[in-house]
A and B are shown apart, each in its own frame.
Chain A
Amino acid sequence: MSSPASNVDPKTAELWDKGHYQYDVIATRTLGYFMYLLSDGMLFATLFAAYGVLSYQHSYFGGPTPADFVKPWYTFVQTMALFLSVLAYGFGMNALKNKNKSGVISGLLAAFVLGVLFLMLDIHDMTHLASLGIGVATSGGMSAFIVLTQVHATHIFFGLIWILVMMAQVMTKGFTTDVVGRLLTLRMFWHLQAIIWVFVYVFVYLWGYMS
C-alpha cells in the first residue's frame, strides 16, 4: 500500500520548489495583527461579561449608579470625535494608495487631534466623577464601569502614541514595506477601538443612563 492522499506520479513529480516561492510579507503581518485584535476583542468581551454581572442594582450597594451621572450628549460628542478620527485615518489611507505623503500625514494628524479630543473628554469625565467622590472603590458596579471604560481609554492612549510614531516614520522612511504594513495594522487597531466604543457607548453609557 502506498502512502495515502497522493495521486501525484512520483516519476514526474516536482520535488523541490522551482517557482521562487515567496510569501506575502504584508498579508502575513496583517493576518497576525488581525489575530491579535481577536484576542483584544476577547479581552473586552470578558470585561463586558464582568460589567454585565456587576450592573445589577445590588452591585452598586446603595451608592451612585451610572444613571446618576451619565450625560448621553457628552458621551455622544466623544463618540463623534472617535468616529471622525477613524474617518480621518481612512482619508489618510486613501492618500496612501496614491503614495501621497502629505495626504497621509494630514490624515494621521487629524486622527491624532480628534483622538486627543476624545481622550481629554474622557479624562475630564473621570475627574468630574472623582470630584463627586465616585471611584473604583465606591462599589462593585462602579469598579466595573470605570475599569471597562478606562481600559478602552488606555487603548486609545497607546494608539495615539502609535499614530505619532507612524507620522515620524512616514516622514523619515517613506512608504517602505515595514511602514505600509504598520499603517495598515494601525488602521485595524484604530477601527477596532471605535467598534468597541460603540458597545461601550450603547451598553455602558446609554443602558446605564436608562437603568
Chain B
Amino acid sequence: MLVDLAGGWNPMLGRLAWSQIPYDNPILAPLFVAVVIGTIIILGLITYYGKWTYLWKEWLTTVDHKKLGVMYIILGLVMLFRGFIDGLMIRTQQAWAVGTHSSGVFGATHGYLTPFHFGQVYSAHGLIMILLAATPLLVGFMNIIVPIQIGARDMAYPYLNALGLWITAAAGALIMISLFVGDFAHNGWFGYAPIFELQYSPGVGVDYWIWTMELVALGTTLGGINILATIIKMRAPGMSWGRLPIFVWASLSANVIALTSFPALQVALGLVAADRYLGAHFFTAGLGGNLMLYTNLFWIWGHPEVYFVILPAFGMMSEIFPTFSEKPLFGYITMVLASLAIAGVSWLVWLHHFFTMGAGPYVNSAFSVATMLVGIPTGVKVFNWAFTMYRGRLTFNAAMLWAIGALFLLLIGGLTGMMLAVPAINYMVHNSVFVVAHFHSMLLVIVYAIFASVIYWFPKVFGFKLDEFWAKTMFWLFSAGTTLVFVPMYMLGFMGMTRRLDYVFNTAWHPYLLVMEFGIVVYMISVLAFFALLYVSIRDHAKNRVGADAWGTSRSLEWLTHSPVPFYNFAVLPHISARDEVAWRRDNGIDHVQPDHYEDIHMPNNTGVAIILGGLTFVLGFALVWRIWWLCILSLLAIMALVIYRSFKGDPGYIITAAELEEMEKDAMCREAQIGKQHYRVGGGVLGDAIAYERSDLPPLASQPGSSVGLGHRS
C-alpha cells in the first residue's frame, strides 16, 4: 500500500542517513555549530543558576493563560527572527546574482545560494512568517488579553490551551530541525501541484512542509475553539455583547475563521500526504488527478487565514487609538459589524489568488466583485479609526506611532489590493513582485500592530513600561526599512520582475535591488534596536513601574486589575456596567473602589501532560517525515495512552482561600501605592487645544477658546 521509494530506506531509521546531514554546506554547517554552542550555553546557564525546577514548575507545565500567551509570543518572536533572516538571505541573493557577469560562490553559478537552496529559503520564509510568527504572536495576545478583557479567571479549557501551545511549538521545532537534518520544501510556502509529488520532489523537504503545517493547523484549531468558548461562556456578570471590548469582538470573528477554515488546510495537505505516502492520485498529472483541486482547496483555507491574522491586528489598533486619543472608539457597532463582515466575505474570495487559472470571465468577475466587497468593511474600520483620532487629545508615544504606521500600511496595501482585485490588472502583474509587495504591506500591518501591542500591553503583563526612546527609535528604523524595501519592490513589479528569482537577468533592475538590500540592512538595525529596547527596559524596570491603569487613559477591563496581573486575574470578578468599564469608573471617580470582602476561588492545577504530548507530536511528525514506521506507531500509541491517562486522572483543581487572597491583594495594593500617582499629560493634541473628551480628574480646559468646537464636547 505504501509507495516504493527510489532512495534508500531501512526499517530502523527509515530514510534517515548520515548523507542527509548537510555538514558540507558552507552556510548550514557553521550555523549548526553556532546553534549547538548557543544551546549548550543556555542549558548550562539554566543549570548553573539552578532554574530547571523554576522553569518546569512555573512555565513548562503551566496552564495560566498569561504565561502560555507570553510563551506563544516568545515563540512567535523567535520565528519572526528566523523568518527575517530568511528574508535577508533572499534580498542578498537577489542583490548579488544580477546579470551574467555576477559572481558565484558556494557552488552557486550566481550569488551564494543554489536554486534548490534558494527555493527552500523562500518557502520557509513564507511559511514561518504566516504560520509560525504572525499566528502564534496573535494567538498569544488573544490568550493573554481576551480572558482579562471579559473578566474571566482563565480560558474555558486551560489544559487544552497548554496543549495548543506545545503542538504549535512542536511545529516550530520541526521546521527548525529541517535546517540541519534533510532539507525543506522548495515549492513555495503554499505549494504547487504536481511539483510537490514524490516523482518531482523525491526528498523529505515536502514532507517537512506537510507535517509542520498540519501541526500548526491542529494547534490553531484547538486554540480557536478555546478562545471562542471562553468568549461565549466565561464573560463576567454584566458583560453583555454590547459591552464587549472591541479586541474581543475581533478575536471572536478571527477565531470563527480559524475554526472553520483550518480543517480545509488539514485536508488539502492530508491529500498531498496521501499522494506522497500511499501513491494516491489526487493532484498528479495523469491517472485522473486534478492539479487545480489542490490550489482551490489550499486557498479556500488560505484566504480566510489571512483575515484570521489581520482581524486581531485590527482589534489591537481599535484598542490603542482610543486610549491615546482619549476618546471612546468611534462607531463601535459598525466596527463589530465590519469585523464579522470581513470574516464572512473571507470565504468568498479565494479564487483571486489564481485568476489566471482560466476559470472564465463569469467566475473571475464574481470573485473580483467579492474581493472588492472586502474594501467596504475595511474602509469602515479605517474611517472609524480616523474619526476616533479626529479632535482627540492625541499622545504620540511609541505604541501610538506603531498603530498609525499600521494604518498607513493598511491604506497602501488595501489600495494595491483593490488594483489586484481587477482581473484585467491581475493578469498583468500576476506572479510579479508587485503582488509580493502588496501582501507584505498587508502582513506588515500585522507586524506593526503586534509591536504596538507589545508596547501597549507589556506593562499589564510585566508591571513596567518599555523604554520610549528605544521603542520610537526602533519604529523609525523599521519604517525606514519598510519604505526602502517595499517601494522599490512595487516599482519592480510594474517593470515586470517576477517573484522568486534566484538569478535576476535584467541589470536595469540592479539599482532597485541594491536599495532594497540597503533597506533590509536598516531592518537589521531596527532588530538590534529591539534588543536594545528589551535590555534598557529590563535594566531600568524599577523606574518604569506602573499601577493598574498603566497609561492613565486606558479604557477596557484589563486595566482594572493589578499590573502585573495576578495569576487569578481578578480577586473578585468585576460587575460590568459600561462598554469602556475602566474609563467609566475613572470618569465617575469610582476607579479606586476595591471589593470589600473576598471569597475562595477555584483554580486549575499545572500539568506536565500537555508538554509531553507536544513532544510526542514532534516525534510523530519527525517519524512521518523520515518514514520511520515503528516510531510513528509508537508515538501515536503513546499519545493515545497519555490522553486516556489524563482522562482518567482528571484535574480536581485547587482552592485559594479568601484569607490567602486578601493577603496577596494587600501586597499588590501596597506595591501600587509605592509607585505614586501617575502624571497625566493635559491638552495639546495635533489640533491645538481642541478636545473631544474631558476628564474629571484633570483641570478643565473649557476656558480655552478652541475647545467649544470639539466633537461631542460639553462645557
Contact = CB atoms under 8 A, between A and B. Distances in A.
A77 interface: no
B259 A14 contact: no
Interface string A59-83: 1110100000000000000000000
Nearest to B221: A39
Nearest to B713: A1
Counting chain B CB atoms within 10 Å of each CB, the highest count among A8, A24, A36, A143 belongs to A143
A165 B640 CA distance: 11
Ranked 9 nearest A-B pairs via Cβ:
A140-B288, A6-B578, A5-B579, A10-B588, A143-B280, A137-B279, A8-B577, A42-B263, A46-B267
B225 A36 contact: yes
Given A23-B234, A32-B156, A50-B297, A8 B578 contact: yes
Interface of B: 1, 3, 156-157, 160, 221, 225-226, 228-229, 232-234, 236-238, 242-243, 259-264, 266-268, 271, 274-275, 278-282, 284, 286-290, 293, 297, 300, 328, 332, 555, 572-575, 577-580, 583-585, 587-590, 593, 595-596, 599, 640, 644, 647-648, 650, 692-694, 712-714
Contact of B575 (A17, A29, A53): A17
A159 interface: no
A16 B234 contact: no
B574 A17 contact: yes
14 contacts: A6-B579, A15-B590, A15-B593, A16-B575, A17-B575, A39-B260, A43-B266, A43-B267, A50-B271, A139-B288, A142-B281, A147-B271, A173-B648, A182-B647
Contacts of B268: 46
A16 B581 CA distance: 12
Contact of A35 (B3, B229, B236): B229
Contacts of A102: none
Given A3-B580, A15-B590, A169-B647, 14 more contacts: A1-B694, A1-B714, A5-B243, A8-B577, A16-B574, A28-B234, A38-B260, A39-B221, A42-B264, A63-B288, A142-B281, A147-B271, A172-B648, A176-B650
A132 interface: no
A112 to B, nearest CB: 16
B583 A161 contact: no
Contacts of A31: 229, 232-233
B264 A46 contact: yes
A103 interface: no
B348 to A, nearest CB: 15
A123 interface: no
B211 to A, nearest CB: 17
Nearest to B152: A23
B281 A50 contact: no
A58 B573 contact: no
A97 interface: no
Interface residues of A, number: 62
Contacts, number: 192
A31 B229 CA distance: 7
A47 interface: yes
Contacts of A21: 236-237, 573
Counting chain A CB atoms within 10 Å of each CB, the highest count among B589, B599, B644 belongs to B644
A85 to B, nearest CB: 21
A210 interface: no
Contacts of A176: 650
Contacts of B286: 61
Interface of A: 1-6, 8, 10, 13-21, 23-24, 27-29, 31-32, 35-36, 38-40, 42-43, 46-47, 49-50, 53-54, 58-61, 63, 135-144, 147, 161, 165, 168-169, 172-173, 176, 178, 182
B590 A10 contact: yes
A121 B650 CA distance: 35
Contacts of A178: 650
Contact of B278 (A1, A28, A137): A137
A209 to B, nearest CB: 19
Nearest to B560: A15
A62 to B, nearest CB: 9
A79 to B, nearest CB: 24
Contacts of B226: 32
Nearest to B647: A165
Contact of A50 (B282, B555, B599, B640): B282
A54 to B, nearest CB: 6
Nearest to B292: A53
Contacts of A2: 584, 587-588
A14 B236 CA distance: 13
Given A50-B297, A139-B288, A3 B584 contact: yes
Contacts of B157: 29, 32
A24 to B, nearest CB: 8
A56 B205 CA distance: 32
